[in-house]
């Protein structure tokens, strides 16, 4: 669900170029790059959002997951994890483009009140006709594929509440028993966030990323009433 570091130079050719294409995200797609290059365009879009948002955002703002539409795709693509975190997740524009060619992708914008603050995408094979959920240790599973909260809106609980909504969606709308994810074991990794949420390492490494899992239907505690 994350990205590999950008190559320091794109001046390559032949087989080396294939490797670069396979492992790097176009930096021009990052929300930050668009902000830097087209500040007036970005300001106009954000002014439109703020006309809908009457009160300042706070920890109490309601968090929802909403479908991305022709009206909102640009503002969601501009959300940015920030320079200290953008090696950990693909630009939203790239994820949204991919989602349209992966029938297993289920993706939503994260809203705090009326403001788009993040993006989430899961892989749910069972939404593809004729396919069933992948198995992990014999348990059907969905995978958290992309997840980010824009740097301006972090630390307000939006990430935890959005992830809870994703888990609720998987519990309610799929027969998955487990949610998997993987993260880049690099500076500012989100592992503490996922541990707090209840994910645990599986011990596997997938393409250099650390795999974690969350049981969606944990057995009831022995003494629970």
Binding site for ligand COA (CB under 6 A): 1-2, 81, 85, 88-89, 147-149, 154-160, 183, 188, 190, 192-193, 196
Cβ atoms of 121 and 104 closer than 8 Å: no
In the three-class reduction of DSSP (H, G, I as helix; E, B as strand; rest coil), residue 27 is classed as: helix
What is the distance between the alpha carbons of residues 168 and 147, in angstroms, rounded to a whole number?
A: 16
> Which residue, 81 or 116, is less far from ligand COA as judged by CB?
81
In three-state form (DSSP H/G/I as H, E/B as E, the rest C), the secondary structure along 154-188 is CCCCHHHHHHHHHHHHHHHHCCCCEEEEEECCCCC
> Which residue, 124 or 182, is less far from ligand COA as judged by CB?
182
Instruction: Compute CA 47 distance to the chain's CA centroid, rounded to the nearest angstrom.
Output: 25
The minimum distance between CB 149 and ligand COA, in angstroms, equals 4
> Which residue, 126 or 189, is less far from ligand COA as judged by CB?
189
Give residues with Cβ within 8 angstroms of 21, minimum separation 6.
none
> Which residue, 160 or 202, is less far from ligand COA as judged by CB?
160
The alpha-carbon radius of gyration of the chain (Å, integer) is 18
> Which residue, 16 or 168, is less far from ligand COA as judged by CB?
168
User: Would you give the DSSP letter of residue 207?
Assistant: T
The minimum distance between CB 154 and ligand COA, in angstroms, equals 3
The minimum distance between CB 115 and ligand COA, in angstroms, equals 13
Cα-based angle 83, 86, 89 (whole degrees, multiple of 5)? 165
The minimum distance between CB 143 and ligand COA, in angstroms, equals 11
The minimum distance between CB 204 and ligand COA, in angstroms, equals 15
Residue showing the smallest CB distance to ligand COA in the complex: 159
């Amino acid at each position: 669900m994350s990205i590999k570091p950008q190559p320091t130079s794109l001046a390559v050719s032949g087989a080396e170029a294939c490797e670069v294409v396979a492992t790097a995200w176009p930096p021009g797609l990052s929300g930050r790059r668009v902000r830097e290059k087209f500040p007036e365009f970005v300001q106009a879009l954000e002014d439109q959002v703020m006309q809908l948002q009457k009160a300042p955002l706070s920890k109490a703002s309601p968090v929802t997951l909403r479908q991305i539409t022709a009206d909102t795709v640009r503002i969601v693509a501009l959300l940015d994890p920030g320079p200290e975190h953008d090696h950990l997740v693909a630009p939203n524009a790239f994820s949204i483009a991919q989602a349209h060619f992966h029938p297993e992708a289920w993706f939503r914008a994260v809203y705090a009140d009326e403001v788009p603050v993040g993006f989430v995408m899961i892989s749910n094979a069972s939404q593809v006709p004729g396919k069933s959920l992948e198995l992990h240790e014999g348990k059907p599973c969905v995978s958290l594929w992309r997840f980010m909260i824009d740097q301006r809106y972090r630390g307000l609980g939006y990430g935890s509440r959005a992830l809870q909504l994703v888990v609720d969606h998987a519990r309610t709308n799929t027969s998955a028993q487990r949610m998997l994810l993987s993260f880049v074991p690099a500076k500012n990794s989100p592992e503490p966030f996922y541990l707090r949420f209840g994910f645990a390492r599986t011990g596997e490494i997938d393409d250099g990323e650390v795999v974690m899992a969350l049981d969606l239907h944990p057995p009831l505690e022995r003494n629970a009433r």
